[in-house]
């Protein structure tokens, strides 16, 4: 793989994703009765092996996830992941705590797919727009299981954009994770798009 992005390029990428996640928060605010604040502290590009270890899920943690596959200028899959408990807590809070705990499991899948669709599409749309890339996104799918069932990739040599997302709600702080898994070729194309974007900004600022 080519050299990793520079600190300036990582900062620019983080800012792009924060714009996307801000748009997702606005969309979620319109869907639910409570204000939702989403923040991304930092975007990291790491190997899948390292990304998997950063998720902090033990081998017996039940994970609820939404997956969307994408292809075009670069291809791969996007995952939005929560522990099952955090996923249920998020669904309960966003639904206004209107349902008993035993009913939440039935609602979790559809609700998390809708949440994942909003968040991942907002991120994708913003990144694609800024980087002027062409990407086709498939419909989101819900998956539940342990880390080895949920976080699947073809090779540990493939790479991930690893993103920790903080959901700040009036009475809760919930942590989720986003990972964009790409093979080396797709990642290099993505990195080059980021470099061109940053170069264009710095060139315009100097003009």
pLDDT > 70? residue 8: yes
* Residue 41: CB atoms within 10 Å: 11
pLDDT > 70? residue 2: no
More confident residue, 3 or 143: 143
pLDDT > 80? residue 79: yes
pLDDT > 60? residue 144: yes
- 13 is a domain residue: yes
pLDDT in tens, 175-187: 889 999 998 889 9
- 2 is a domain residue: no
- For residue 182, what are the β-bridge partners? 76, 159
How much helix, strand and coil, in percent to the nearest 5, is found in the chain?
50, 25, 25
Q: How far apart are CA 109 and CA 115, in angstroms?
A: 10
Q: What is the pLDDT of residue 142?
A: 93
Q: What is the pLDDT of residue 126?
A: 92
Task: Domain count for the chain, please give it.
Answer: 1
- 48 is a domain residue: yes
- Burial (CB < 10 A; 0-12, 13-18, 19+), residue 195, is middle
Q: What is the pLDDT of residue 141?
A: 94
Predicted structure pTM score: 0.86
Q: What are phi and psi of 142, to 5 degrees?
A: -100, 135
- 1 is a domain residue: no
- 102 is a domain residue: yes
- 138 is a domain residue: yes
Q: What is the 3-state secondary structure (H, E, C) of 112-143?
A: HHHHHHHHHHHHHHHHHHHHCCCEEECCCEEE
pLDDT > 60? residue 207: no
Q: Which of 2-6, 81-85, 143-147, 176-180 has the lowest mean pLDDT?
A: 2-6
pLDDT in tens, 17-35: 999 999 998 888 887 767 8
Q: Find all residues with CB under 8 Å of 72, minimum gap 6, and list them.
A: 133, 134, 135, 136
Q: Find all residues with CB under 8 Å of 167, minimum gap 6, and list them.
A: 36, 37, 38, 90, 173, 174, 175, 176
- 86 is a domain residue: yes
Range of the domain at 89: 7-202
CATH number, domain containing residue 122: 3.40.1550.10
Mean pLDDT of 198-204: 82
More confident residue, 112 or 154: 112
Q: Is 106 helix (H, G, I), strand (E, B) or coil?
A: helix
- 207 is a domain residue: no
Mean pLDDT of 60-77: 92
């Amino acid at each position: 793989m080519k050299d990793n992005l520079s600190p300036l390029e990582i900062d620019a990428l983080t800012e792009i994703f924060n714009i996307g996640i801000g748009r997702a928060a606005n969309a979620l605010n319109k869907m639910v009765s409570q204000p939702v604040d989403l923040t991304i502290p930092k975007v990291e590009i790491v190997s899948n092996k390292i990304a998997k270890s950063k998720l902090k899920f033990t081998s017996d943690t039940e994970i609820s996830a939404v997956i969307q596959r994408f292809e075009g200028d670069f291809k791969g899959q996007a995952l939005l992941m929560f522990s099952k408990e955090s996923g249920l807590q998020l669904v309960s809070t966003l639904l206004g705590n209107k349902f008993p705990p035993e009913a939440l499991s039935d609602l979790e899948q559809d609700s998390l797919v809708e949440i994942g669709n909003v968040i991942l599409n907002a991120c994708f749309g913003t990144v694609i727009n800024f980087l002027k890339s062409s990407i086709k996104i498939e419909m989101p799918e819900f998956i539940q299981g342990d880390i080895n069932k949920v976080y699947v990739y073809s090779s540990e040599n493939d790479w991930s954009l690893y993103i920790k997302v903080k959901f700040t709600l009036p009475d809760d702080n919930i942590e989720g994770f986003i990972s964009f898994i790409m093979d080396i070729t797709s990642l290099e194309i993505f990195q080059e798009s980021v470099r061109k974007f940053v170069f264009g900004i710095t060139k315009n600022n100097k003009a």
